[in-house]
Amino acid sequence: MLRNFIKRILRNFYNDNFINVVDYFAPLKGSISQSGFKIYKNFFKNEEFINQKKILCKKIINSNKIKKELTNCEGLGNSISFNDHLLYSDFLIEVFNSKIIDDIRSYLGNGFKLDNTYLSVFNTFNGEVENRISSGLLHHDSVGHRVKMFIPINEKGTINNPTIYLKGSNKIKWKNFENIENKERNRINEQQIKLYKNKEKKLGLNFNDILIFDTNGIHKGCYENSNQNRLIIQFEFSNHKTYLRGQVGPGSFFLSPLIFDKLKELGLLRLNRCTSHNKQILHLGNKKRRSIKKLSDYFQI
Ligand SMILES: [Fe+2]
C-alpha cells in the first residue's frame, strides 16, 4: 500500500512537471481558444457518407452480443469501445479533408498527433444517475491540453446525453493534474466551479454535427437514462505527450489504407508504430493502451 502511495506521488510529480513544460509551447490560438470547444453544425452533407454512418449504427444496435455485454455493464455511462472502426468508416475522410484539422493545429501547434481513436457504445439504460461513472462528474482529463473530437453515429446524436462544458475553463492552469473523486463524489474544488457557474454549456450534437473540445477544461458526460444508446466515434489529439503516464499518448487502433494515407499526408501519425497486414494497418499503442476490441468479432461487416 505504501509502495502504491509513493508510486502515485512520483507519477503525479512527473506528470505535473511534464505537462507544464510541454503545454507552455501550445499556441492555444484559433476558433476553440476562447471557449474551449467548437461544434461544426451539419458537417456531413454527402448522402452516401450519411448512409454509411446509418448502416454502421444499425449493425451495432442489432448486434445481440453487444446488447448482452451492455446489459452486463454496471454503472450508467460505462461503455464498450472498439478499435477497428476506421476499417469501416471511410466517410471520415471528409473530416480529415476539412478545416477542423487546421483548427486543432492552431490550438495544439504544429506536430500534433492522433493519439487514439475508438467507437464507444455507452450504457444509457442500466443504473441510476446517482451511481453514474466518474466521467459523469465535472472533471478535467488530467493530461493538460488535449483535444477530443466526437462524431455521433446514432440517429438522435447526443441531444439527450450531451457533453457539459464550463466555457473558458480550458485555460485553467492546474496546480495538480490529478482529480480523482472524493467521498462526496466531487472531482474539482467547488470554488473553482463557482467561478464558471454561469458558463455551463450543453454541447448536444445532432446526427451530422461534430464536436471538438479541450479536455483540460472542466467537463462531464451527461448519462441520463435514455431510450437510445449513445454511440460516438472519438478521436484524441495531443502534442508532445507520447511519454506522459496515464490515459494519454499512443493507443491501439486499425486503419484502412485510405485513411492511413490521408493521416500520413497530414503528418498526424507516429509511423514507427504502424504495421501493415492484409490491407489493414495497425497503429500499436503504448504498454497501457494496447488492448484491442474488434467490431468484426461482434457481427458480420
Ligand atoms: Fe473527460
Distance 51 CA to ligand 1 centre (A): 30
Between CA 109 and CA 72 the distance in angstroms is: 41
Per-residue pLDDT tens over the stretch 49-85: 999 999 999 999 999 999 999 888 878 889 999 999 9
Q: How many residues does the chain have?
A: 301
What number of other Cβ atoms are within 10 A of residue 55's Cβ?
12
The secondary element (H helix, E strand) that includes residue 9 is helix 2-23
Going from the Cα of 255 to the center of ligand 1, the distance in angstroms, rounded, reads 24
Residues with Cβ within 8 Å of residue 51, at least 6 apart in sequence = none
CATH of 29-297, one of 3.40.50.300, 1.10.3720.10, 2.60.120.620, 2.40.50.100: 2.60.120.620
Q: How far is the CA of 111 from the centre of ligand 1 (A)?
A: 23
Domains in the chain: boundaries: 29-297
Element holding 259 (H helix, E strand):
helix 257-265
Task: From first to last of the 301 residues of the chain, give the pLDDT tens digit.
Answer: 788 889 889 988 999 999 999 999 999 999 999 999 999 999 999 998 999 999 999 999 999 999 999 888 878 889 999 999 999 999 999 999 999 999 999 999 999 999 999 999 998 888 888 888 889 899 999 999 999 999 999 999 999 899 999 999 999 999 999 888 888 889 998 899 999 989 999 999 999 999 999 999 999 999 877 777 789 999 999 999 998 887 888 999 999 999 999 999 999 999 999 999 888 999 999 988 899 999 999 988 8
Compute, in angstroms, the gap from residue 220 CA to the centroid of ligand 1.
Answer: 6
Å from CA of 48 to ligand 1 middle? 32
**Spacing, Cα 117 to ligand 1 middle (Å):** 15
CA 277 – ligand 1 centroid, Å: 33
